[in-house]
Amino acid sequence: MRVIIIDDDFDAWRAAALDALAQQLTPESIDWRTAQAEPALFGEAASPAGAADAPHIRVSRELASLLKDAAHFRDPRRWSFLYRVLWRWAQGDRSVASPADEDGARLYKMAKAVRRAQHDMIAYVRFRQREASLGAPEYVAWYEPGHDVLAWAAEHFAARMGRSTWLIATPDAAAMFDGERLQLERRRALASDHAVDTPDAAEALWMTYYRSIFNPARLNESALEQHMPVRFWKGLPEGALIPQLVSDARGGARRVAQAQSVGALVGKPVQVEAQDAQPERDAPTSLDNCRRCDLWRNATQAVPGAGPSGARIMLLGEQPGDQEDLKGEPFVGPAGQLLHDAMQRAGMPREQVYLTNAVKHFKWEPRGKRRLHKTPAQQEVQACSYWLEQELHDVGARVIVTLGATALAALFGRRATLAAHIGRVVPYRDKLVVATYHPSYALRQNDEAARERTVAAIVEALERARELIGS
């Protein structure tokens, strides 16, 4: 009997399986084991010696995708089963890829169950937003996938959640995203009796996670159990942590305790404290690299202003919305549509207008599957004025139309109210400012007459701007 120890994933199995095929090892002669299951007994996983010059065997595209999906089926015997399928195929037995075959049927069933688990995970993971003061990750989710689909789902979320930082914990692994890199930590097997005494990276990560959701002010055992099912919870070292967490909380030492467990992480870097994760705040080299405030984290990209550099009018909005964030251009969503209509009504020529926002990254909060606009804080507006200043300098527009309260405050400070400025022309440095409503204010008004009054006021402000540049 040949023992082959691999990392518990498809690529490791494939390399080792090709190697075994090349040596003509029959399925019955191999004992497949995974490094994660028996770290103490076997040490490092064997990297297949012949991987570089492993033979190629041609499998149909369908079989390749079945094998790949079935590899995530949670069953310790899967590697040996998959090898039997591959072996039979390599012997020329094509029936193994048919649902009419016993192995084939099992393969189809496994692949189907995995695809279903992937779909479920995407649909049912619920992120909870954590207190900002605790630092990253900003969102955490606990989920028990039906099969080993965390890595797959994590890629999905990494592509969709912008630069937010998050952690998805599952019973046997956790995925962390630090805004740029995805990292996966598997738990070592709990079975070995020294697991609790030798916290490894995964356990430290777990403790961090656990502390992050643990709110001693609302210590409620049944809530804890709901969040982390007892079946799993009992086997975890976190169980032992509860008394310590409670006393830490009394002593106000919770953050310290959390920092300690982060410090206990070994191996790959994981940044858990927001301050550490923040590169330089000043003098960013480009808008996309800007870290002057935290808004870059949750956004897809920065949205720069758009328009000719010789534009004589600048329209200043608040911040990109959902669609602007995805497209990277200002005013391309519903508010932008309304603004463009208003510009047309005012006869404002596009080529004389530069469109931009006071804040260049989209600020939002999750509401179900939607990203809900959140008004930027004055601190963020101030941080981002660095970029607005450059635009004011580079564009040299004579007239600025501020849309809404945030844009007005970006120029005159928070005390400048829209009510006091609306419809007036106010000098600003060597420029003139016309203040008006934000187009999304009009969109929010249900009463049609009121909405039309708001739109008319915006049109009037745009006409005023035209008069001021004498066009």
**CA distance linking residue 164 with residue 136, whole number of Å:** 9
317 binds, among ligand SF4, ligand URA, none (CB under 5 to 8 A by kind): ligand URA
Take residue 244 and report the two structure tokens written for it.
């310590």
82 and 34 Cβ atoms separated by less than 8 Å: no
Among 357, 382, 436, 454, binds ligand URA (CB under 6 A): 357
Take residue 164 and report the two structure tokens written for it.
């937010």
**Pseudo-torsion of CA 339, 341, 346, 347, nearest 10°?**
120
330 binds, among ligand SF4, ligand URA, none (CB under 5 to 8 A by kind): ligand URA
Q: Which long-range contacts (CB under 8 A, 24 or more apart) does 188-195 make?
A: 188/36, 188/39, 189/36, 189/37, 189/38, 189/39, 190/235, 190/236, 192/39, 192/40, 194/40, 195/237
4 and 46 Cβ atoms separated by less than 8 Å: yes
| Binding residues among 433-452 for ligand URA as defined by CB under 6 A | 440
- Minimal distance in Å, beta carbon 157 to ligand SF4? 22
Binding mask 277-316 for ligand URA (x = CB under 6 A): ----------------------------------------
Nearest residue (CB) to ligand SF4, 287 versus 326: 287
- Minimal distance in Å, beta carbon 336 to ligand URA? 5
- Minimal distance in Å, beta carbon 299 to ligand SF4? 7
Number of residues that bind ligand URA (CB under 6 A): 13
**Pseudo-torsion of CA 225, 229, 234, 237, nearest 10°?**
-90
Nearest residue (CB) to ligand SF4, 143 versus 386: 386
Nearest residue (CB) to ligand URA, 190 versus 443: 443
Nearest residue (CB) to ligand URA, 229 versus 308: 308
Report the candidate in 165, 241, 235, 186 with the shortest Cα–Cα distance to residue 208.
241
Q: What share of the chain is helix, strand, coil (3-state, %, to 5)?
A: 50, 15, 40
- Minimal distance in Å, beta carbon 374 to ligand URA? 12
410 binds, among ligand SF4, ligand URA, none (CB under 5 to 8 A by kind): none
Q: What angle do CA 239, 262, 256 make, to 5 degrees?
A: 80
- Minimal distance in Å, beta carbon 415 to ligand SF4? 21
405 binds, among ligand SF4, ligand URA, none (CB under 5 to 8 A by kind): none
156 and 166 Cβ atoms separated by less than 8 Å: no
- Minimal distance in Å, beta carbon 375 to ligand SF4? 13
**CA distance linking residue 358 with residue 373, whole number of Å:** 15
H or E element in which residue 213 lies: helix 201-213
292 binds, among ligand URA, ligand SF4, none (CB under 5 to 8 A by kind): ligand SF4
331 binds, among ligand SF4, ligand URA, none (CB under 5 to 8 A by kind): ligand URA
Q: Which long-range contacts (CB under 8 A, 24 or more apart) does 157-161 make?
A: 157/125, 158/182, 161/298
Nearest residue (CB) to ligand SF4, 210 versus 296: 296
308: which residues sit within 8 A by CB, 6+ positions away?
351, 352, 354
Take residue 229 and report the two structure tokens written for it.
């099912």
* CB count in 10 Å sphere of residue 406: 24
| Binding residues among 311-340 for ligand URA as defined by CB under 6 A | 317-321, 324, 330-331, 333, 335-336
Q: What three-state secondary structure class fits 456?
A: helix
Nearest residue (CB) to ligand SF4, 84 versus 361: 361
Take residue 39 and report the two structure tokens written for it.
């770290």
- Minimal distance in Å, beta carbon 359 to ligand URA? 9
- Minimal distance in Å, beta carbon 382 to ligand SF4? 9
Residues of this chain that interact with ligand SF4 (CB under 6 A) are 287, 290-293, 295-296, 302, 359-361, 380, 383-384, 387
Nearest residue (CB) to ligand SF4, 18 versus 383: 383
- Minimal distance in Å, beta carbon 444 to ligand SF4? 23
Instruction: Give residue number: closest CB to ligand URA.
Output: 317
- Minimal distance in Å, beta carbon 385 to ligand URA? 15
Report the candidate in 435, 400, 431 with the shortest Cα–Cα distance to residue 419.
435
- Minimal distance in Å, beta carbon 465 to ligand URA? 17
DSSP codes joined into one string, 348-394: --GGGEEEEESS-S--EEEETTEEEE-PPPHHHHHHHHHHHHHHHHH
| Binding residues among 451-470 for ligand URA as defined by CB under 6 A | none
Quick check: 162 binds ligand URA (CB under 6 A)?
A: no
Nearest residue (CB) to ligand URA, 158 versus 397: 397
Q: Residue 243, by phi and psi: left (phi above 0), alpha (psi -120 to 50) or beta?
A: alpha
Footprint on this chain of ligand URA (rule: CB under 6 A): 317-321, 324, 330-331, 333, 335-336, 357, 440
